[in-house]
Amino acid sequence: MNETPKLFVAIDQNDINSAKELIQKLSPKMCGIKVGKELFTACGPEVIEWSQSKGFKIFLDLKYHDIPNTVGKACFAASRMGVSILNVHALGGKEMMLAAKEGVDKSNNDPSLIAVTLLTSLDEVALKNIGITSSVSDQVLNLAKSASQAGLDGVVCSAKDIANIKNELPEKFLYVTPGIRLSNSTKDDQKRIATPIEAIKMGSNILVVGRPITQAKNPEAVLNEIMNEIS
């Protein structure tokens, strides 16, 4: 498994030039780069290759969720790009996650394969609206245990979910936490949020931070502030 940074910056841009401009304001010694759906759809593997050439580790955040065969092949292809982390949706089921793990294992690289439990934009009301009657905490626990049983390396979850699931999972399981907001920032579309230091204290291994850094007047200064806080 690749050694990974403690923080990945989510670069949510829709063209390669603006993405490069933003990434160049950051340091690969301080963070990795999260490439999500918007950036990858707009720019494809080019932005991954360019970022890696600048020394950045990559979290490919495409949340694969499809039939097992398709997800297995996608994870094989993603692993071949040399990314450090990639993910799938745990809601795709154990068979799908086993196929994802097989795809990663067949590649010549060894990224961390993690599963998204529930999006941090979802709360109890949203779950009920899509027909899930269990609580957020119960659903996250069930999905995290399924990911562990499939041999995955960790989960994406809210920092506030970790205390409920940690004792049921392997000691070296990774907890990757999005929904990170600074103490003076707004929640926007995120429901289950935490500050950087709160997330670390709750057990997060890796933080994913987007808008608080990328929309700042000085992204590097905010990144340095966060890293000093959690170091």
d(CA 135, CA 21): 42
d(CA 149, CA 59): 22
First to last CA, the chain: 22
d(CA 87, CA 100): 9
Closest to 63 in 3D by CA, of 36, 41, 83: 36
146 backbone dihedrals φ, ψ, rounded to 5°? -65, -40
Single-letter amino acid code for the residue at 48: I
Q: Are 87 and 112 in contact (CB under 8 A)?
A: no
Three-state DSSP state, 185: coil
Catalytic residue among 63, 94, 106, 128: 63
The reply to whether 63 belongs to the active site is yes
Beta bridge partners of 177: 207
Token pair for 224: 């340095």
Region label for 82, one of left (φ > 0), alpha (ψ between -120 and 50) or beta (otherwise)? left
Please name the helix (run of DSSP H) or strand (run of DSSP E) that holds residue 46, with its range, or none: helix 45-53
Report the catalytic residues. Answer: 63
